[in-house]
Amino acid sequence: MPRPLDHFVIGVADLDAAGAHFAALGFTVGAKNRHPWGTENRIVQFADQTFLELVTVGDAGAIPPHGPRHFSFGAFVRDALARRSGLSMLVLKSTDGQADAAEFAKLGIGDFEAFDFARKGRRPDGSEVEVAFTLAFAADAAMPGCAFFTCQHHFPQNFWSETAQKHANGASGVARVTLVADNPSDHHIFLSAFVGERALRSTSFGIEIEAGQGPSGGHGVIEIISAEGFAFRYGTTAPKAETPVFAGLEVAVPALGPVEAGAAAAGITPLRHAGGLTLPATTDFGTTMRFIETGQATR
């Protein structure tokens, strides 16, 4: 079965400013969490059990280097932020992180040891809980600016919160994640192996693959397209980069009005495009976000 979407790691220079940015758009943003490897995050959860992870470097001295068979999350976040802010990691759900790591090694898309870690979290009522995860990393040498891993949640009942998943803008989840590359078809073998799905669709501008069904029944689309294709879908220019980059996210909302009003109040100029609402990337937030009404087809 294809692996479902889990979360999207978005590097930001100022974590509190990023949280305020998302709150202004009508998202419920979680409290700050600290990792022992030098990064800090704030989380935006959705009812389809996907989430956005806003992340920054909190303690550069605590970041471990990459090593043989060791992928350093902190080092990747630091280096990605040195290039540009925005989405840089795609994460899929896992039922067995150790098995994923072994499979990725067998398929030749990442010979990394699985990484286990735990941290304390807080529920909306302030009570403390433990959350723990196993991560299995994959890599495509042709996409050095992008990271890919699976995430096994060991205490999902402690992580997911119905309260945190309720947003003023009604957002229910991420419908699509978009990468931009000069030659999208060069990456279909890696993406197919990472997602665990052989059936990829060719489109006018590249390829797309449907991730597996999530716990709440939803699917999401992962696509890698040309810069021209990105402009067609999002209505704005793609970021310029020498290698493939994550460039856009589509978020499902029941209506566009609340997002548009929130953007205006925050001084952001949205773009109505192809039945959706696009917020172009900015210097401090290098990912384009497109909001579509729930159930809207975007292919």
Same domain for 149 and 90:
yes
Residue ending a domain, choose from 101, 132, 159: 159
The verdict on 119 and 188 lying in the same domain is no
Minimum mean pLDDT among 2-16, 38-52, 283-297: which range? 283-297
Read off the pLDDT of residues 271-297 as tens digits, 9 standing for 90 and up: 999 999 999 998 678 899 999 998 664
Both 140 and 266 in a single domain?
no
Distances (CA, A) of 255 to 34, 51, 72, 243, 248: 34, 20, 39, 35, 20
Residues 84 and 109 in one domain: yes
* Both tokens assigned to 160: 């997911």
Same domain, 13 and 149: yes
Beta-ladder partners of 92: 5, 150
Tell me, yes or no, whether 265 and 202 share the same domain. Answer: yes
Do 73 and 187 have their domain in common? Answer: no
Q: Is position 187 within any domain?
A: yes
233/285 same-domain check: yes
Q: Of the residues 115, 136, 159, which one is the last residue of a structural domain?
A: 159
Q: Give the model's confidence band at 213: pLDDT under 50 very low, under 70 low, under 90 confident, else very high.
A: confident
Residue 143 falls inside a structural domain: yes
* Residue 41 three-state SS: strand
Q: How far apart are CA 229 and CA 292, in angstroms?
A: 17
At a CB cut-off of 8 Å and minimum separation 6, what does 261 contact? none
Contact of 174 with 5, CB cutoff 8 Å: yes
Asked, for residue 210, whether it belongs to a domain, the answer is: yes
Confidence category of residue 225, pLDDT binned at 50, 70, 90 = very high
Kindly state whether residues 244 and 211 are assigned to the same domain.
yes
Identify the band that residue 217 occupies on the pLDDT scale cut at 50, 70 and 90.
low
- 95 φ/ψ angles, rounded to the nearest 5 degrees: -100, -10
Q: Are residues 63 and 134 in the same domain?
A: yes
pLDDT over 90 for what percent of the chain?
83
pLDDT of residue 218: 67
Residue 92 lies in a domain: yes
What mean pLDDT comes out for the span 200-224?
Answer: 87
Average pLDDT over residues 131-154: 96
Could you tell me how far CA 206 lies from the centroid of its own chain? Answer: 20
Asked if the structure places residue 201 within a domain, the reply is yes
Assess if residue 165 is contained within a domain.
no
Residues 189 and 225 in one domain: yes
140 sits in the region (left: phi over 0; alpha: psi -120 to 50; else beta) called: beta
**Structural domains counted in the chain:** 2
Mean pLDDT over 15-40 rounds to 93
> Which domain-ending residue is among 133, 159, 185?
159
Q: How many Å apart are CA 176 and CA 290, to the nearest integer?
A: 9
Cβ atoms of 223 and 239 within 8 Å: the answer is no
Question: Would you state the pLDDT for residue 216?
Answer: 63
Q: CB–CB of 245/239 below 8 Å?
A: yes
> Which of helix, strand or coil describes residue 178?
strand
**Which residues does 251 contact at the CB level (< 8 Å), separation at least 6?**
171, 173, 174, 175, 289, 290, 291, 292
**107: domain CATH number?**
3.10.180.10
19 and 137 in a common domain = yes
Domain that holds residue 260: 173-293
Q: What is the pTM of this model?
A: 0.94
User: Of the spans 125-129, 205-209, 216-220, which averages the highest pLDDT?
Assistant: 205-209
